[in-house]
Structure 1
Amino acid sequence: MSLLCGLAQANHVKCKCPNIDARATGSTSCSASESSGICTISFNEFDDRLELTARDLLSRVGKWKEVAYSEFPANDQVNSPQSFTRKNARLLSSKDPASLIDQIMIYSLVALVDSGKMDDQAERIADVHALLRRNASVISAAFVSDGQRIEDQGVIVQMGCFEFKRDNFWAMYKASWSVAISNEQC
């Protein structure tokens, strides 16, 4: 019985903002942001409206005219070929690393959109998006591969976990299949 409890506990995703003492635990992917003294943590199922608003924000402030976005159903539908599983993230990474970058960037912005503070951070979001797009192959490979960790210029990426910090703005996306699910941050 205790083995089953241990396995169930291991599947919980922990998320915490870096400066505000706010944390949450859920059984699905999380998006978290800290901005203007507010911490927001959201767990999948992300509201479609929030995802689309995050995509529109990224399209508006990004340096690219088109932002790639795929609608994936909730992670609890693991049998669905359209879930944002590690397998599907790897396929997306191998076909078009920039599309994976856009997808995880959108997921990382869901909590910011939920807080309503998105326009305050447009310049920082554009800066991070440009950095990620320039290094899309390396960053997307680290996001889907076990054993790789990138930590540079305020960006941390490892399997299933992505976070960035610019000035007083921080955002994170952690997939339910991340190696960092038991850590509060990447």
Structure 2
Amino acid sequence: MNENIDVRRVGADEALTYVEALADVLIDCVEGGASVSFMLPISRATAVEFWTHVAQGVVRHERILLVAEDAQGKVVGTVQVVIDQPENQPHRGDIAKMLVARRARRKGVAQRLMAAADDAARTAGKSVLVLDTVTGGDAERLYERAGWQRVGIVPNYALMPDGTLCATTFFHKQLA
């Protein structure tokens, strides 16, 4: 585990200041082959537009944004908890865009982000979390180690950044 990584919640008053740094992480992940809703080539404008929308959601208290920063204060990872849910699901949160820059992988960053997401969700009154991830990827093993339960696999659910079809595994976690 890397002790030089700080994981913290981004406040509504500062969310927009993180857009450029988060765009860097997203671009790096997509260029590295991550299936996270974006296709190659991903433009900076597309990444900035996405993170601006996320930041606006943080301002509206629709989502919690967590970042992992290295010792130099550079963002190396992020995850969101979508807390704005339908009226009949006030207890549920969705985990979204768990991303770690390639240079920061295999150092415990994702594990720390997911633990922080669990804590933030609990604080927000959530007792059930759900997420989906590409089947067979490193993230799938990470979630299983973190206590997530596999629900099932949907074949040909999404596209990889290069356009090839991939299966998606759905998970849930009951928070104590």
Place the TM-score, normalised by the shorter chain, in its bin. 0.3 to 0.5
TM-score by length of 2: 0.33
TM-score by length of 1: 0.31
